[in-house]
Amino acid sequence: MRLFTGLDLPADVTAGLERLLRRLKPTARIQWSPPENLHITTKFIGEWPEERLGELRDALGAIAGREAPRVAIRRVGFFPNPHAPRIFWCGIEAPGLAELAADTDEATARLGIAREDRPFSPHLTLARIRERCDLQPLREAIAALDSLEFGAFEARAWFLYRSTLKPGGSVYTKLAEFPFIKP
């Protein structure tokens, strides 16, 4: 099983991002993310044996409870940089989310899962850029947006997801839910 942990988006935020994607999609021939797949990854686990799923759930469930983070979605950008982009993203600001990612990394490392070798950079992947193409129309469409604020919400839980690769793209299934504590 291919697994990761992350936050889900509420329906109203997803709807707003879907409107953004509809506006930007015609400007670039890149691999756009389906709105239903938008999420904030906190830890990519990778392949994990199904017979050890309970062990992983227990390790994640043992991460100390924490207050629900307030998540703001704002700005857009390109990874690794605007000159040779591979990912087009929306930025995430969420106090406490980096600590959750670090705790998840620590808990999964004790099970033998490789630690993250890059700093945590919370984002929503709006599109993947597999081949060089003209992104100037996309940049112009971004510059014409009224705002780079795309929604905010209080996260209610974080999840363990399974990612199943299909011909039309990945399908994500929630395998476990870990609620945040209400302030």
Q: CB of 10 within 8 A of CB of 2?
A: no
Residue 177 C-alpha from the chain's centroid: 16
Q: Decide if 123 is catalytic.
A: yes
Residue type for 75, please? R
CA dihedral 174, 158, 182, 71 (to 10 degrees): -120
**Residue of 4, 9, 39, 162 with catalytic role:** 39
| Through-space distance between the first and last CA atoms of the chain, rounded to whole angstroms | 35
Peptide bond into 10 cis (omega under 30): no
**Residue of 6, 20, 107, 123 with catalytic role:** 123
Alpha-carbon distance of 13 to 18, in angstroms, equals 9
Question: Of 50, 137, 53, nearest to 88 (Cα)?
Answer: 137
Catalytic residues, by residue number, are 39, 123
